[in-house]
């Protein structure tokens, strides 16, 4: 079974790494796949190059391109794992592709644009926006990929806005545990939906 984590940049998707580590669940980052491809293309990691690479991958391999790369990795390195978390799901195309191969539950993490922009400015990763123009451009690119639909149709939603980090982590962990404890029931529901 796969647990897909979706949300706009800066919403707090990275918190899933702490939950995954605590629960001993392997995790794959779709963003890492894109950053890796950016480097393979000989490009510097910055917002424009990473964004252009994401677009290039989808133009070359289809709208589910990143999901294909993630599933290939799973089949090669994690095929015997019972549950795997995929962080950074960005479209229903990706979700549908993954669902063709494994049951998938989606957890969306939400935060306001103002909160997300402040987080991204302070995070300091090479591909984070440097100003509000970069931030809006990145948000629009993510929305063009279809992330809004993915968030809207998620199985669970965690709001990461005005609460302390530990409370947010506990809520996220609680949802992941609920999915694990009820995985057989969720698998049946997912097959019924497909």
Q: CB-based contacts of 153: which residues, under 8 Å, 6+ apart?
A: 92, 106
Q: Is 14 part of any known ligand binding site?
A: yes
Query: What is the three-state SS of 144-163?
Result: HHCHHHHHHCCCEEEECCCC
Q: Is 129 part of any known ligand binding site?
A: no
Rounded alpha-carbon distances, angstroms, from residue 76 to 84, 101, 127, 139: 13, 14, 28, 32
| Beta-bridge partner residues of 33 | none
Q: Is 7 part of any known ligand binding site?
A: yes
What SS3 state is found at 29? Answer: strand
Q: Is 10 part of any known ligand binding site?
A: yes
Q: Is 1 part of any known ligand binding site?
A: no
Would the CA dihedral through 125, 161, 89, 80 be positive or negative?
positive
From CA 72, how far away is CA 97, in angstroms rounded? Answer: 12
List phi, psi (to 5°) of 76: -85, -45
Q: Is 12 part of any known ligand binding site?
A: yes
Do 127 and 25 form a contact (C-beta atoms < 8 A)?
A: no
* Residue list, annotated binding site for ATP: 7-14
* Residue list, annotated binding site: 7-14
């Amino acid at each position: 079974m796969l647990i897909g984590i979706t949300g706009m940049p800066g919403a707090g998707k990275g918190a899933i790494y702490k939950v995954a580590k605590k629960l001993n669940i392997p995790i794959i980052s779709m963003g890492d796949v894109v950053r890796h491809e950016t480097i393979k293309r000989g490009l510097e990691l910055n917002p424009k190059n990473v964004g252009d690479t994401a677009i290039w991958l989808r133009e070359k391999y289809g709208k589910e391109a990143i999901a294909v790369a993630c599933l290939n990795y799973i089949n090669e390195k994690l095929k015997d794992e019972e549950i795997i978390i995929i962080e950074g799901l960005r479209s229903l195309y990706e979700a549908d592709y993954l669902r063709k191969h494994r049951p998938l539950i989606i957890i969306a993490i939400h935060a306001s644009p103002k909160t997300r922009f402040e987080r991204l400015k302070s995070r300091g990763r090479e591909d984070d926006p440097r100003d509000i123009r970069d931030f809006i451009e990145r948000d629009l690119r993510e929305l063009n990929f279809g992330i809004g639909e993915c968030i809207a149709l998620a199985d669970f939603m965690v709001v990461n806005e005005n609460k302390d980090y530990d409370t947010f982590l506990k809520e996220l962990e609680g949802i992941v545990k609920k999915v694990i404890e009820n995985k057989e029931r969720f698998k049946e529901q997912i097959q019924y939906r497909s």
